[in-house]
Amino acid sequence: MKNQTLKSLTEAHAWIGLIISTVLFIVFITGSLSLFRDNIRGWERAPLAVQSNESITTISYDNAINSIQQQYDVDTDHGFFMREPTPHNPFIEVYFATHLDQPHPITGEDHQDQHLLISPQSGEVLADADKFEFSTLLFELHFDLGLGRPGLYFVGVITLFFFVAILSGVVIHWRKIAKNFFQYRAEGKKDKWLDAHNLIGTMGLPFHIMYAFTGLVFNLVIIYQISYAVLLYGGNQTALLQAAGFNEPKIEAINQIQPMQGIDQLRAQAQAKLGDVTFTMVEISHFGDKNAVVGFTAKSNDAFSNIKEIQYKLSDNSQVYLTENNYDNAVRAGLSTIASLHFGDFAGYGMRLAFLCLGLATAYLIVTGNLMWIDKRAKQKKQSPKSLMFVKRLTSGSFIGVILAVAVGFTLTTLLPATHADKLETVKSSMFIAFFFALISSQFAKDVLSFSKVLLGLSGICYCLSLVMNLAYFGNQYNLLPLQTKVDFAIVIGLIALMALICWKAVSRINAAAQTTSATSSERTSHQTAN
């Protein structure tokens, strides 16, 4: 490759990395933590697990539905979903809508969405599930930045540029990839950043390619659907979905009342029909109607957990749909495999731990990329000092702001009681405030290193506070907690301690850098005085 071409490619690689760095850092930090979102959910809902204290070996959906119908006016025009209890989440988790006589004062709609946690055997309504959704909030920040569908597509575009950055990085370093594979020069600041950047990028290359590709599939799948529908099916997206195996029958409501009982019996039938599976969801279409359809979704208990579905008409228990060979369909099986790869849930905690390390290492790769860009620009005479300082402050404020926001999230989730009104909204708002506080205040910092130390110190204090409170609760409630909840607590405490350690190490590195800079300045001053 010609030197000029290589130089242009390197410049493009640097600029792409700089532009997408903040969003990509958010994606990898929250995504790394979300690998353990089931554990975070179990940790957050531990008080309810102690309160319920019921085994999930026996589950009664009929009791749950009976309790809901007694306490809520279910809107039959909307979906009714029940998530299967798991060791991490030993409750029936129910999603439905209630009818409103007057339009909702905020949304203006004629219904209100409900999200409840229900005891798996007695059917007792335990709590509003939305107050225990910190794990979901972290996960949403990972794939849509908490901005809904616009954020989903925006992250998809960022992922596309990430894929381009990976490919350009491989081309740039291809000739030296083997020679300098394990090279790490600790004596020079620039060499250390460059070697760390190259080493992480090279060793994590399969991981990065996998995440870039699977992220594109999840976030921009609508683009593929539209393209395939136009090119292959003449614009008929329904035909495309049917060819892909998504061809459930459409049964209309007939507005005749039907008791919603017999779900437990149908679950037993579905278990016998589907075989070695783990149920994940029960969906009732046309709830309360004689044409109500009960659908069971399950994961096959193989390594990559392909999805199986079966549906029954509740009035006569007749089977109306079965995936049959659809779970061997290339599209459905491919999406299931991609999901398992992306979430690292196909090989136990060992694989998730490896993915956690690679994810955090990638976040460090993003940091080193920005630092190298700043260092290179600082040596160019034509570089504007104001624009360079802006990037320095932006790098400090945005990256550490993410660390601070997550710290605030863990701390408030630990501190705020379940009785707190709008607990999740309080946590979410506080996280956004913490991030934008760091981002905006960084632009007024005169000494970026000192400012970074303050933000990291504040983040570390939040993590340590959360750590102490969780250790105290864990010790007091240890004998009452279910076994899996104990495991969840231990893992979350480990994650919080890891984030606190990262803050401490970062402050130590900043102190070391400041001392080196001070020593260099003293030597220059002494040399000039001697001359």
- Per-residue model confidence (pLDDT) at position 252: 85
* pLDDT tier, 279 (very low <50, low <70, confident <90, very high otherwise): very high
**pLDDT of 75-131, one tens digit each?**
888 889 999 999 999 999 999 999 888 887 777 788 889 999 999 999 999 999 999
Q: Compute the chain's Rg from CA coordinates.
A: 27
Q: What is the pLDDT of residues 450-474, one digit of tens each?
A: 999 999 999 999 999 999 999 999 9
Binned at pLDDT 50, 70 and 90, residue 11 comes out as: confident
In what helix (H) or strand (E) does residue 81 lie, and over which residues does it extend? strand 80-83
Helix, strand, or coil here: 287?
coil
Tokens of 285: 């279409």
Backbone torsions φ then ψ of 438, nearest 5 degrees: -65, -40
Q: Say how far residue 95 (Cα) sits from the centre of its chain.
A: 21
The single-letter DSSP state of residue 490 is H
pLDDT at position 110: 81
Residue 376 reports pLDDT greater than 70:
yes
Tell me what pLDDT residue 232 has: 59
DSSP symbol at 500: H
Mean local confidence (pLDDT), 337-353: 80
Give 422's pLDDT tier (boundaries 50, 70, 90).
confident
| Mean pLDDT for the chain overall | 85
Residues in the chain: 531
Q: In whole angstroms, what is the distance from residue 183 CA to residue 194 CA?
A: 10
CA distance 280 to 53: 21
Three-state SS annotation for 110-138: CEEEEEEEECCCCCCEEEEHHHHCHHHHH
Q: Which residues of 500-530 are buried (b: 16+ CB within 10 A; e: fewer)?
A: bebbeebbeebeeeeeeeeeeeeeeeeeeee
Residue 501 is predicted with a pLDDT of: 96
pLDDT for 333 equals: 66
- Residue 235 clears pLDDT 90, i.e. is over it: no
Residue 364 sits at the vertex; the CA angle it makes with 355 and 495, to the nearest 5 degrees, is: 50
Give me the residue label for tokens 């007792």.
Answer: 124
Q: Is the pLDDT confidence value at 186 over 90?
A: no
b/e string for 180-208 if b means 16 or more Cβ within 10 A?
beeeeeeeeeeeebbbbbbbbbbebeebb
For the stretch 481-495, pLDDT in tens is 999 999 999 999 999
190 compared with 430, residue with greater pLDDT: 430
Tokens of 95: 């999603």
- pLDDT score of 18 more than 70: yes
What does DSSP assign to residue 108?
A: -
- Helix, strand counts (H, E) of the chain: 17, 8
User: Which of 99-103, 295-299, 332-336, 521-525 has the lowest average pLDDT?
Assistant: 521-525
Between the CA of residue 206 and those of 167, 212, 303, what are the distances in Å? Answer: 12, 10, 20
For position 90, what pLDDT does the model report?
A: 93
Token pair of 242, please?
Answer: 């049917």
**pLDDT tier for residue 272 given thresholds of 50, 70 and 90:** very high
- Once rounded to an integer, what is the mean pLDDT over residues 25-32? 95
Task: Report d(CA 399, CA 162) in Å as an integer.
Answer: 17
Give percent of the chain above pLDDT 70. Answer: 83
Average pLDDT over residues 474-479: 90
Q: Stretch 385-399: mean pLDDT, rounded?
A: 92
Q: What is the pLDDT of residues 120-162, one digit of tens each?
A: 999 999 999 999 999 999 999 999 999 988 998 899 889 989 9
173-187, 261-275, 358-372, 444-458: segment of lowest average pLDDT: 173-187
**Is the model's pLDDT at 181 over the cut of 90?**
no
**Terminal CA-to-CA distance of the chain, rounded, Å?**
47
Statement: residue 242 has pLDDT above 90: no
What pLDDT was estimated at residue 221?
Answer: 67
Q: Which residue has the higher pLDDT, 434 or 100?
A: 434
